[in-house]
Amino acid sequence: MRIRIATGLLVLVAAALLATACRPGAEPAAPEQPKLDALLAQLPSSEQPPPDEAVRRAKAAARRLGVELKSELLRLLDESGPVGAIEVCSKRATEIRQALAEEGLMVRRVSLKVRNPADRPDDWERRILETLVEIAAVDRSALPEELAVVVARDDGEELRYLRPIFVQRPCLTCHGPVDRMDPEVRDKIAELYPGDQATGYAEGDLRGAISVRLDLGQR
pLDDT per residue as tens digits for the range 106-125: 999 999 999 999 899 999 99
Strands (E), the chain: 2-3, 105-110, 147-153, 156-166, 206-217
Q: Which of helix, strand or coil describes residue 107?
A: strand
The answer as to whether 159 is a domain residue is yes
Domain that holds residue 119: 2-58+106-217
The answer as to whether 208 is a domain residue is yes
**Comparing C-alpha atoms, which of 161, 162, 160, 186 is closest to residue 173?**
186
The answer as to whether 81 is a domain residue is no
The answer as to whether 79 is a domain residue is no
pLDDT tens figures, 76-85: 888 888 888 8
Count of CA atoms in the C-beta half-sphere (13 A) of 190: 8
pTM over 0.75: yes
The answer as to whether 87 is a domain residue is no
The answer as to whether 90 is a domain residue is no
Q: Which of helix, strand or coil describes residue 218?
A: coil
Distance CA 13, CA 147 (A): 13
What percent of the chain is modeled with pLDDT above 90?
65
Q: For 117, which DSSP code? A: G
Q: What confidence category does residue 29 fall into, taking pLDDT thresholds of 50, 70 and 90?
A: low
**Torsion 8-9-15-19 (CA) sign:** positive
The answer as to whether 147 is a domain residue is yes
Distance CA 101, CA 58 (A): 12
The total number of structural domains in the chain stands at 1
Q: What confidence category does residue 207 fall into, taking pLDDT thresholds of 50, 70 and 90?
A: very high
The answer as to whether 70 is a domain residue is no
Q: What is the mean pLDDT of the chain?
A: 86
